[in-house]
Chain A
């Protein structure tokens, strides 16, 4: 038994080693990545191997990329190219633009989400969940009170390995109620039970906290709140 366990461990370490070295084919690489995402112990083996092999990276000669590459990356991530120096770079200067950009995004997403509605159903609420304390997490939500259906769309930010985002509803001064763990990626479709639907109106807040995988073990948020916003009629 013990011998077999040892053999299995050796096989896992070898898989991690070959993944870090880069010799696996595409399908095996995906399998190793899936394993690393699911099992922190395997991810740690991969990291150990990356560290062991790291000195071989001395073999890579630095080559400056084309100047345009940087602005292309920033435009893709932040929407607007940034100038190189001085006050153009300051956060205070950019904040209103970032806010305007995210409002634009909400408006355009809002329009897209609006199309999701069938004609004649009014009273929908939109919530722009803005990042808290410079977290990279932004979401936008649309709620239809008549059906209790909510759609939550990620704008930016990921929970990361071994973590999940959990969504909370906060009405006035009442305690936050969990609306569940969000999917790792893509749009979340959430159906609110009638008791909760009654509490969702203009001014009700939605918050996202970062929790251990599977959500808060205690029923109250245990991790930091990474995004927050209040419902507004559209």
Chain B
């Protein structure tokens, strides 16, 4: 169970003031989730550990740019973690290579995110994703969770690159319109 978002936001705000105890508590509350993000996207333990260190260094240095009331604390942290991991992933895999390995790994996974996302907070976005064609909803979901590039997504779904770009872009716009529907 994730801690209450406002609590995390408060710890970030204290961290912004240079409070090391708040930073320590923030780490204790959130590092398992963020390490989960790094591992899932990078799929390599050593690199995931490097990523985690970079992430918390950024959290300490950039805490002042987090403003409570806009994004939730946990969302802010997960964005930093995903950005760091995806940057490292993109820097590592030359576009077009190593996709076989990634596909194999991905195929071993049943689809836990679908089940998990249906719980609580995910209900709304899940309903909106359900309005998309299933393969397009899958592409959006796996792009987010696994950090796949367009090339990897196109390969996995056996469609041309431009088709995949269209799927994702249209998917995102439909998702936005659905989520903003009152």
- Answer whether A and B are interacting partners: yes
* Contact residues of A between 1 and 48, Cβ < 8 Å to B: 10, 13-14, 17-18, 20-26, 29, 47
Question: Least Cβ distance of A123 to chain B in Å?
Answer: 34
Q: Is the interface of A mostly helix, strand, loop or mixed?
A: helix
- Against B, the Cβ 8 Å flags (1 = close, 0 = not) of A42-72 are 0000010111111111111111111001101
- Nearest B residue to A156, CB-CB: B61
Q: Is the CB of B53 within 8 A of A58?
A: no
Contacts of B83 in A (CB 8 A): 22
Contact among B20, B53, B124 for A78, CB-based, below 8 A? B20
Q: A65–B75 contact, CB under 8 A?
A: no
Q: Which residue from chain A places its CB closest to the CB of B123 in the assembled complex?
A: A55
A160 to B62, CA, bound (A): 7
Q: What count of chain B residues pass the 8 Å CB interface test? A: 70
**Which residues of B have CB within 8 Å of A29?**
86-87, 90
Q: How far is the CA of A49 from the CA of B78 in the complex (A)?
A: 13
| B165 to A, closest residue via Cβ | A23
Choice from B122, B124, B140, B173 contacting A58 with Cβ under 8 Å: B122
**Beta-carbon contact of B31 and A22 below 8 Å:** no
Across the interface, which residues of B come within 8 angstroms of A22, CB to CB? 82-83, 86, 143-144, 147-148
- How close is B43's CB to chain A, nearest CB, in angstroms? 12
Q: A69-B53, A91-B21 are in contact. List 17 more A-B contacts (CB 8 A).
A: A14-B169, A21-B144, A51-B71, A57-B78, A58-B113, A58-B120, A59-B116, A59-B141, A61-B112, A66-B49, A69-B31, A70-B27, A89-B21, A131-B18, A136-B16, A136-B18, A158-B61
15 A-B pairs (CB sep. < 8 Å)? A13-B176, A21-B144, A22-B143, A49-B172, A50-B71, A56-B141, A57-B74, A57-B144, A63-B32, A63-B39, A69-B35, A73-B56, A134-B18, A136-B18, A136-B63
